[in-house]
Structure 1
Amino acid sequence: MTHGNGIEVTEFIPLGFGAQHRFWHILFIVFLLIYTTSMVGNIGMILLIKTDSRLQTPMYFFLQHLAFVGICYTSAITPKTLQNLISENKSISFVRCVMQLWVYGTFGTTDCYLLAAMAVDHYVAICKPLHYSTVMSHTVCILLVAGSYLIGSINSSVHGGLMFSLSFCKSHTINHFFCDAPPILAISCSDISINIVLLVVFVGFNLTFTMLVVIFSYIYILASILKVPSTAGRKKAFSTCASHLTAVTIFYGTFFYMYLQPHSNNSQEPMKVASVFYGIVIPLLNPLIYNLRNKEVKEALITIGKKLF
């Protein structure tokens, strides 16, 4: 990878946030607390699901991988962000930058497909309960999860691989706090038309496809719930989906704001805030959402608490 004047570019400098030089100590403490709590929550969720026999169901199998994905993509960006807040040397090598982009993109995309798989699981459980054990067999669940990881990896490999063909003549500073594709492409002096096309196609397809799966699943779920004669039955069915719907709304709402709004210089800071929410805060919210709203998880936590204390 070369600079416009023929000098090889070996590192980038993320600019971070506009006001971080004034509030770096506050940002560091807040991000560190969020990251630590997120890691504890997600690792705890994985261990809880693995050890409690009542949680050995397809829904918790997907939730276990959702927690793992959250750990991976927040760990791709948060430690370096924390380092940049307290260190004078904010540079990141080109190879590490591409690796950060790859890890973040892989597990972010995988998250989309896992949420779609969980929507399908809810659909089968509520709309086809007699066929649930057959349709959502362990083999099917493994294939859905493996496919999610594979698609995420392919998606990021395409974008990451194309980065090695770019040259940079505008600057080596990235107007972001981590290595994401749009801010990297913005400082390239190469022809980035193919990068833009593939970014729009891949991101557009992944978001549209998974969102349609979620929407149609819940249309059928809602139709089935409305046919339930008892109020208690409807309430139980809605309760089953509440945690997942909350996670989906937060995830896709942030994602659409990040990638589907018009970009301008004035929108960079709000975009960074949205990226913080997506990359750092959401991995914390997922275990909180499922812990607080799922009866089985709360019962499992109570059981473990009694054994420990």
Structure 2
Amino acid sequence: MRYIFLISILFVILGCEDNAKLISSDYTIVYSAKESKGREIYLSDETGTSRIKVTDFTKSDGYPSVSPDGEQLAFYGKYDNRKTWSIHTVNIDGTNMRRLTRKKYVWDSAPAWSADGKKIVFAREYDDPEKGWQEEIWLMNHDGTEQHRIQGLKGRAPHFLKDGRVLFHSKKDPSQIFIANTDGTNLIQITNNDTNNWSPKVSPDGNHVVFVSDRDGNREIYTMDIDGSNEKRMTFNHVDDWDPDWSNDGNKLIFSSDNSDGFSDIYQINKDGTGIKKIINNGIQASTVRKLNKFSLEKLDDRK
């Protein structure tokens, strides 16, 4: 009887561990999907076979980014007939959605979390009647307070480095990739050519950057070292590729590629350029999830 009891307890423990592993580790990609009612945000496993809807608040939700502790999601949504883009946060289980930016007729996009989860950096674009189209980098607390422009930085697609600096691409003609402090000082240029370079993301170990460039005729995915050396072309497609990111172990990349339906699909490729494959249909703006809050995700998982 004693042995039966111990064996039963062992099975319960193992079962809980397996379930925890499933809940906490399976969903490693967050992305925006084009569904019948608009664009919605989903969590997906690496193969694209299992997914959970997180948001469908504005019918145009995109640029998702999961907080470092796995508890929240930052994203943009559109208002005023899509003329106003605003940054939001929501719990990973889809509750407690908050609109953080509200300025009308500007485009706020591409939110990214600091390593400690206390700050969110994002891009703001708008048309200035006197100066023309503006592209700015903004910073705020994770709750939306203390919003301010990072003076001197003009561009888009900001992304935090582990040391708190910001990686971003500059305004067009042509766009180059830079690193700067969050007060705009110590600006370091890491690409320097006569073509456009966009959407940089740093690898988990901090040593490499993946980005998009049109230097070979259309938009393709490239990698380089954090100092701009050892540039390497990763994709050779006849359509445009977008929005790359690294896998958690740094051995793979995910990115979006234009499809024949006028939208995009999400692909995966090894960091050496081999093994390219489509993993998600009708998806865009994918990013890797570093961690998920197991208990919040259990509530979300029940909605599948």
Report the TM-score when normalising by structure 2.
Answer: 0.27
Q: Pick the structure with more strand per residue.
A: 2
With a CA cutoff of 8 Å and minimum separation of 6, indicate the structure with the bigger relative contact order: 1
Normalized per residue, the structure richer in helix is 1
Q: With the length of structure 1 as denominator, give the TM-score of the two structures.
A: 0.27
